[in-house]
Structure 1
Amino acid sequence: MRKLVWWMLLPLLAVACAKPTGFNYLGVKNFKVVKFGLKESTVGADAEFYNPNKYPVTMKGGSVDVYVNDNFFGKTSLDSSIQVPKKDTFLLPVVLKVDMTSTAMQVIQTLATGSDSVKIKLDGSAKIGRSGIFINYPIRYEGMQKIRF
């Protein structure tokens, strides 16, 4: 009888321990220049994501390379943990240190010509999990993004 009960609970345990799915990237909000310098500047923004999981998850430890118009723009990292609600959108604060070489100047020139869209590419990974079990999940996105100051 006990073996039968365990075999009946096995599918329930498998569903409860299901691997979380990744977040859907929705865009960038609240773009701002925190510190402007001739050699290096600091840029801040809020990246908006949607959690499609049926349960809340925790995101901790992540690193993402940001490319703008196919040129490396900067790197951001997350060293704290964030509680992400189930089936809801959330904002992730992002701070980038940008080398003010030709890449940053090209972006400024693009925005100065009247175009408010640039091609954004994100490439990195983050640890996502719940109940103390975390997996490295890849972060990949490529698409056009409107930038408003």
Structure 2
Amino acid sequence: MRKLSLWMLLPLLAVSCAKPTGFNYLGVRNFKVMKFGLKESTVGADAEFYNPNKFPVTMKSGSVDVYVNNNFFGKTTIDSSIQVPKKDTFLLPVVLKVDMSASAMQLIQTLATGSDSVKIKLDGSAKIGRSGIFINYPIRYEGMQKIKF
């Protein structure tokens, strides 16, 4: 009887230990310049993602390099834990320190010409998991993004 009950619990344990899948990038909202300087500026935004998992997960940390129009724009890190709901969209606040070099000036010139779309490329990884088991997942995205101030 005891062996039978253990075998019946095995499928339940296998489902509860399912490996989480990565998030789907949906876009950027609430883009704002928090601090403007000649050498370095600080930009804030809310990155929108969708969690396709059938269970909630926790994002523990992450690091992403941001490229705009194929030029390195800056790096952002996430060092706090964020609870992500199951099968739902969520906003991830992002703060990016931007070196006001030629690439940042090119972005300002592009936006000044009236174009509100730029090519965004994200390259990095994040630790996501649940029940104390975390796995590094790659963050990869490339596409056109409308930016509104």
- Tell me if TM exceeds 0.5: yes
Equivalences for residues 110-129 of structure 1 within 5 A: 110-129=110-129
Asked if 1:22 corresponds to 2:22, the answer is yes
Query: Which digits, 9 at most, give the CA deviation of each residue in 1:108-146, with x for residues without a partner?
Result: 111111111000000111110111111111111110000
Aligned counterpart, 1:62? 62
Q: Secondary structure at the match of 1:80?
A: coil
**What is the deviation of 1:26?**
0.5
RMSD between aligned residues: 0.9
Q: TM-score, normalised by structure 1?
A: 0.96
- Provide the C-alpha distance between the structure 1 equivalents of 2:6 and 2:144, rounded to a whole number of angstroms: 51
Aligned counterpart, 1:10? 10
What fraction of aligned residue pairs are identical, expressed as a percent?
A: 90
Q: Secondary structure at the match of 1:107?
A: helix
The runs of at least 4 aligned residues of structure 1 exceeding 2 Å deviation read 1-9
**What is the deviation of 1:3?**
2.7
What amino acid is the match of 1:30? Answer: N
Q: TM-score, normalised by structure 2?
A: 0.96
Aligned counterpart, 1:107? 107
**What is the deviation of 1:7?**
2.6
**What is the deviation of 1:42?**
0.4
Query: Between Structure 1 and Structure 2, how many residues are aligned?
Result: 149
